[in-house]
Amino acid sequence: MKKFLLTLVTVFVLVSMISVDSADARKKGGQAAAWNHQVCLDVGAQIPEDDSGLETGYGIAFTYYYRLSNSFFFSASLGYQSFGLEDIQGYDLSDYSITIMPITLGVRYNFTTSGLQPYLGAEIGFFVLDGTGNDIDIDSRTEFGIIPKVGIRYPLNPGLDLDVNLKYNVIMPEGSDDNMTHIGINVGVAYTIQR
C-alpha cells in the first residue's frame, strides 16, 4: 500500500509541475528549446549508505530524454551497477559480487535552459539484483525503488552537453522495512538526437 501511495503522490506532483511550467512559458511568451530527443551516458562511483555489507562500486547508465515542455523532461533509463562484498566475521568474500540493474522512468526539471543548467529529477521503477561468487549463483530478484537526483548540465558544443549528477538510489525489498540505499556520483555526456 505504501508503494502505491508513493507512486500516486509522485504522479500528482509531476503532473502539477508540468502544468505550472507550461503555464509559465505561455505567460512569458517563452519559446521552446530547439530539441526534443536526447540520450545520455553516465558513469560513476556507487557508494553504499546502509549496513548492507556492500563495498563502493561502479555504475553506468543509459538514459533517453524527451522534452515535455521548455524546462520539463521525461526519461527512460537502463543502468548497471556492480559492488564487491565486505568480509564478514573472518569470511573472505572478495570473490563475491552483487550487480543491480535499475530500469526506471522519470522526470527532470531544469531551472534554466541555457548555459549552466542546474536540475532536479526523480526516477521510479524496478531494480534487478543478482549475485555471484566462488561458483555460486545467487538467485536474482526484482525489487521496487526510487531515485531522487540533482545535477548540472553544461553545453560543450551544439548538441553535446556535460552532465554531472548525484543520485540517491533507494531500493525497497519486498517484505522488509529496511531499504537498501546507495549514492551515485556520476559524470557523463548527453547527445541531442534531433535539433
Banded model confidence at residue 86, pLDDT cuts 50, 70, 90:
confident
Instruction: Give the closest residue to 23 by CA, choosing from 93, 60, 88, 70.
Output: 70
Distances in whole angstroms, Cα of residue 166 to Cα of each of 43, 102, 107, 133, 187: 11, 15, 15, 29, 9
Domain ranges of the chain: 2-192
Contact 143, 126 (CB under 8 A): yes
Query: Quick one: average pLDDT of 157-167?
Result: 94
Q: Which of 120 and 28 is assigned the larger pLDDT?
A: 120
Q: List all residues 6 or more positions away from 29 whose beta carbon is below 8 Å from its beta carbon.
A: none
Quote the CA–CA distance of 26 and 49 in Å, as a whole number.
42
What average pLDDT does the chain have?
A: 83
Fold of 2-192: Porin (2.40.160)
pLDDT, one tens digit per residue, over 70-80 is 999 999 999 99
Least confident of 52-61, 127-136, 138-147, 168-177: 127-136
Q: Which pLDDT does position 28 carry in this prediction?
A: 47
Query: Quick one: average pLDDT of 184-191?
Result: 97
pLDDT, one tens digit per residue, over 91-147 is 666 778 889 999 999 999 999 988 999 999 999 999 999 987 766 666 789 999 999
Q: Percent of the chain having pLDDT more than 90? A: 55
Q: What is the DSSP letter of 149?
A: E
Q: Which pLDDT does position 90 carry in this prediction?
A: 67
